[in-house]
Amino acid sequence: MVDIMEPKKKITIIGAGPGGYETALAAASWGLEVVLVSDSPVGGVCLNEGCIPTKTFCRNAELLDNLKDASEFGISTGEISLDFAKVIERKNAVISQLQGGIEFLLKSKNVRFVRGRAELKDKNTVIVHCSGSECPTKEEGTAAGESTEEIVSDFIVIATGSVSATLPITGADAEGVVTSREMLSLDSIPQRLCIIGAGVIGLEFASIFNSFGSEVTVLEYCKDILPHFDTDLAKRMKQALGKKGIKIETGAQVKAIERADTGGSLSVIYSKKDMDLSTEADKVLMAVGRRPAVQSLNLDAVGIEYSPKGIVTDSDMRTNVPNIFAIGDIRGGIMLAHAATFEGKRALNAILADIREGSPEEGRILDGIDFGIIPAAVFTRPEVATVGLTEEDCKDKGLKIKCLKSMFRANGKAVAMGEADGYCKIITDAEDGRILGCHLFGPHASDIIQEVAALMNKKATIDELRDIIHAHPTLSEVILSAAGI
């Protein structure tokens, strides 16, 4: 890429998750002078306490499951045990390695990283509060203490993410009640784990700790697990998790958590079909969603439109203050790392267009990103993956559709792997055959879904999919099988 402007325009990005740091790197590549501010290490929630650390746990779970099943493959093992301290140590090493990679990239592109808490002063000024050794502008000889820096720039991108939500119930703050963050740094594996919420986070931890040997109970308020996913998929997935020994109660409203005076046991009290019930646990994971981190930014000082649900933007990620943009979880929409990254791309494209053209223009087409096609995966065992419209979405929109299905038990590779539990559903427009969505669970579902996402981006039809030669034997053939002849 080339420098497109002289003198250099300045951009300050608040938040160093996959939204913020990727946008910082891209902005620097386009010749902008970039400052990246974050109150936590680079990588944000995704790298430090979300996507990546849970994936290290997932790998532990997979290895353990494989070892437990080894005799079916003619392999004998001795007694299998899990050194949880080592699991945590490996997880931390993976985080450090990836942090090092991002820091290297930021340095090599001359992005200035400032560690501290940022707030807005006016539409061009960000104040950063930093303390002690974290503060790069700390005066010589100051051992610790707060200092502030004011950073003035032409554009500001807010990418400060979200925080775990908790239920406003008695006992929500009891000892032993944790969020996903603490689940990644436990001292030991809980014998009995109760998870409140059968969304993405709840089910990933349910699957991991089931493999680690915990007795897992999941309590979900809605009538199905994964409420925003295709219902048919969710029902089948519930059965698959049940077969693994995970107890899932749907239609369960959690009312309180009580801690016994002795023994440290927790009692989670919930109601189901007008009956008051309870389940006992050693740890309770609260996985009831995340909320945008809008509180500490001083958004009112600049008049940015927001609510507890997030900062309001247009489709260019621009707030009502034209030189300030917001991307990722802070917008309160789809809370996915890759969505944040691509929202950052869109925001940067708008900023570059502003610079070239002098001011924002209505209705410009900035890029080919389609935010209606965002693949998503749940890293349970088996994995869940989804893209596009669900059957329920199609019904709501009054679309005439066809649903095409296949099972992993008819897929040679899956059967050979001993992982044949799973299914695939492709939804097409009944009139022109365009692929509208795909929902599957099974081995490597998170990788398989990319093919359908690519086809949907190219507005492909089911006939066009049928013409694509797929290698045999591969798991991706499950897509071709669903498409049929």
* Active site residues per annotation: 472
From CA 388, how far away is CA 1, in angstroms rounded?
32
Dihedral angle over CA of 216, 219, 222, 227, nearest 10 = -30
Shortest distance, position 202 Cβ to ligand NAD, whole Å: 5
Beta pairing class for 310-311 and 383-388: unpaired
Q: Which is nearer to ligand NAD, 218 or 424 (CB)?
A: 218
Q: Which is nearer to ligand NAD, 18 or 190 (CB)?
A: 18
Shortest distance, position 166 Cβ to ligand NAD, whole Å: 10
Q: Which residue has the tokens 């507890």?
A: 308
Site pattern 50..69 for ligand NAD (x: CB under 6 A): --------------------
Is residue 219 part of the contact set for ligand NAD (CB under 6 A)?
yes
Cβ neighbours of 152 (radius 10 Å): 12
Q: Which is nearer to ligand NAD, 327 or 480 (CB)?
A: 327
Is residue 254 part of the contact set for ligand NAD (CB under 6 A)?
yes
Q: Which of 317, 334, 403 is nearest to 374 (CA)?
A: 334
Cβ neighbours of 100 (radius 10 Å): 11
Is residue 287 part of the contact set for ligand NAD (CB under 6 A)?
yes
Query: How many residues does this entry show for the chain?
Result: 485
Stretch that binds ligand NAD, among 1-9, 74-82, 83-91, 217-225 (CB under 6 A): 217-225
H/E stretch holding 466 reads helix 462-466
From CA 83, how far away is CA 46, in angstroms rounded?
25
The set of residues, in sequence order, having a beta carbon less than 8 Å from that of 134 and lying 6+ positions away, is 115, 116
Is residue 256 part of the contact set for ligand NAD (CB under 6 A)?
no
Q: Which is nearer to ligand NAD, 116 or 422 (CB)?
A: 422
Which of positions 332-391 make contact with ligand NAD (CB under 6 A)? Answer: 335-336, 376-379
Q: Which is nearer to ligand NAD, 222 or 399 (CB)?
A: 222
| DSSP 8-state code for residue 469 | P
Tokens of 253: 């409203």
Burial class (CB in 10 A: 0-12, 13-18, 19+), 145: exposed
Site pattern 297..326 for ligand NAD (x: CB under 6 A): ------------------------------
The answer to whether 109 touches 103, Cβ cutoff 8 Å, is no
Q: Which is nearer to ligand NAD, 128 or 340 (CB)?
A: 340
Which of positions 183-202 make contact with ligand NAD (CB under 6 A)? Answer: 196-202
CB-based closest residue to ligand NAD: 199
Is residue 222 part of the contact set for ligand NAD (CB under 6 A)?
yes
Shortest distance, position 98 Cβ to ligand NAD, whole Å: 17
From CA 211, how far away is CA 303, in angstroms rounded?
49
Which of positions 132-171 make contact with ligand NAD (CB under 6 A)? Answer: 167
Shortest distance, position 101 Cβ to ligand NAD, whole Å: 21
Instruction: List contacts with ligand NAD (CB under 6 A).
Output: 167, 196-202, 204, 219-222, 227, 253-254, 287-290, 335-336, 376-379
